[in-house]
Amino acid sequence: MKDRVCLVAVLAIVPLVFFCQEQAHIKDTVRVDYTMAEQTVEWLRFINTGADDASVKQFFMEKVAPTSGCQAIIHHWARFRTWNEETFYTFIMEALGRVPTDQPVTGGDGSLTAFGRRKKLWQSALADPDRLGQDIEALKKIRLKDKALEIAKAYLPVEAVVSNDFYIVAFGASTAFSVGKENGYDLLQLSKTPEGDIDTEVVISTFAHEMHHSGFSHCIQTYTPGLEDDEHVFLVGILAAEGMPTYFINKPFDHLDVLRSSPEPLYQALARDWENHLASMRALYRKAQDDILSNLRGDIGQHEIMDSWMGGVQGPAYALGSNMFSVIEASLGVDSAKSVLKNVLRFPSVYNRAAKIGNEQGGSYFVFDDDFIKKVSAYHGTE
């Protein structure tokens, strides 16, 4: 547990990041930038003119790589591996078949590997860059910023401040990601309806999810600033920070049938993850109780929690956190859910109060041990 990490967890669909923001905002500031995606469309068109390899690379390095969106991608993956403009360029060119690689396209079960998916996405983009250009223009007409902000604010305390920069990018890996206040959304993996139109509900909810994280972070810094860098509350923070926007904004319980029937392997895998989590929900509650206490004591930290709670397409933290908020909403209402943002250590106790009310009304909700609730509620940080 050598690394010092921030409390607030940020994830959209597959990747995640933990971040803190400086508390210097007096109003919501949200910006959506399409520059990287637009320059990538022009670069793909340039490749299709038959330009030589040197010119193709020069165009990328001069027009695409310097954009804020491309730099956000580099910031995102540089946290996990050696990553810069050169490695990203090679990453794309391998997918386009212009640089040799021995990476397999399919796995042992015949499904696409990460490289296979990247290859499919980038080669489809190269085959029809005009389609990407049309998608960019369609996104601009949706009024993403205004609609997503309205949804996010509905599940935040009125005083919460939202501050995000969104970059529409061309990546081929993470569908969406966050690094600090930088948020990337991959145009190559834009959610579409079966008819081929942009699935505006999914896109807007993804943006709203990230905006909610920003407001959550602002609340942490305002009301409990001592917790934002405390790794000992990492797990309870994940459960609250991911569970709340996932339940209220992404509404996974309403969309499982759609995910199951989707032709997209990613969404099918997402449905399988959720089905597995829901089938083992009581065991997840018991594990959360044990792991939160271990986290408070310092016996486990970020890496152990990431492995056991955030693995897969969407880890069990999303399902358990969502389930806890569903119980809170049913028994106590949305305002009680919002109160959690003013002190995440209240999350288990607010849930317990809701679960007990639900059980009195005939439910069969899991109830945390009283001793556990006391220890979490009484935690005051480390020296």
pLDDT tens, 273-324? 999 999 999 999 999 999 999 999 999 998 899 889 998 888 999 999 999 9
Q: How confident is the model at residue 3 (pLDDT cuts 50, 70, 90)?
A: very low
Query: Are residues 144 and 24 part of one domain?
Result: yes
Query: What residues pair up with 167 in beta bridges, in sequence order?
Result: 33, 184
Query: Are residues 199 and 320 part of one domain?
Result: no
Residue pointed to by tokens 């597995």: 276
In a domain, 5, yes or no: no
The strand pair at 163-169 and 29-33 is best described as parallel
Alpha carbon distances (Å) from 183 to 19, 134, 328:
12, 22, 29
In a domain, 247, yes or no: yes
Q: Is 358 helix (H, G, I), strand (E, B) or coil?
A: helix
Supply the pLDDT for residue 177: 83
Reported pTM: 0.81
DSSP 9-32: EEESSS-EEEE---S--SS-EEEE
Query: Are residues 239 and 198 part of one domain?
Result: no
The strand pair at 8-11 and 16-19 is best described as antiparallel
Final residue in a domain of this structure, among 153, 174, 209: 209
Supply the pLDDT for residue 352: 98
Final residue in a domain of this structure, among 145, 176, 209: 209
Which of 10-14, 297-301, 378-382 ranks highest by mean pLDDT?
297-301
Query: Are residues 276 and 179 part of one domain?
Result: no
Query: Are residues 238 and 164 part of one domain?
Result: no
- For the beta sheet containing 176-179, the strands, ordered from the edge strand earlier in sequence to the opposite edge, are 29-33, 163-169, 182-186, 176-179
Query: Are residues 187 and 131 part of one domain?
Result: yes
Q: Above pLDDT 90, what percent of the chain? A: 69
In a domain, 3, yes or no: no
Euclidean distance between CA atoms 115 and 127, whole angstroms: 18
> What's the structural domain count of the chain?
2
Supply the pLDDT for residue 259: 82
| Contact call for residues 144 and 12 (beta carbons, < 8 A) | no
Q: At what angle do helices 302-309 and 316-332 cross, to 10 degrees?
A: 80
Query: Are residues 64 and 168 part of one domain?
Result: yes
Supply the pLDDT for residue 111: 78
Query: Are residues 175 and 234 part of one domain?
Result: no
Query: Are residues 168 and 129 part of one domain?
Result: yes
Q: What would the pLDDT profile of 70-120 be if each residue is shown by its tens digit?
A: 999 999 999 878 999 999 999 999 999 999 999 999 888 887 888 998 999
In a domain, 219, yes or no: no
Structure tokens at 10: 């940020």
Query: Are residues 202 and 254 part of one domain?
Result: no
Mean pLDDT over each residue of the chain, to the nearest integer: 89
HSE-CB at 327 with a 13 A cutoff on CA atoms is: 26
Euclidean distance between CA atoms 68 and 167, whole angstroms: 8
Q: What are phi and psi of 8, to 5 degrees?
A: -80, 125
Query: Are residues 271 and 157 part of one domain?
Result: no
pLDDT at 15 over 60: no
In a domain, 220, yes or no: no
In a domain, 221, yes or no: no
Residue 239: which domain range?
Answer: 230-377
Query: Are residues 247 and 144 part of one domain?
Result: no
Kind and range of the H or E run holding 234:
helix 234-245
Q: Is 195 exposed, middle or buried (0-12, 13-18, 19+ CB in 10 A)?
A: exposed
CA 231 to chain centre: 20
Alpha carbon distances (Å) from 338 to 10, 240, 343:
18, 10, 10
The strand pair at 16-19 and 182-186 is best described as unpaired
In a domain, 369, yes or no: yes
In a domain, 224, yes or no: no
Average confidence (pLDDT) over 236-263: 90
* Nearest Cα to Cα of residue 306 among 2, 76, 9, 13: 9
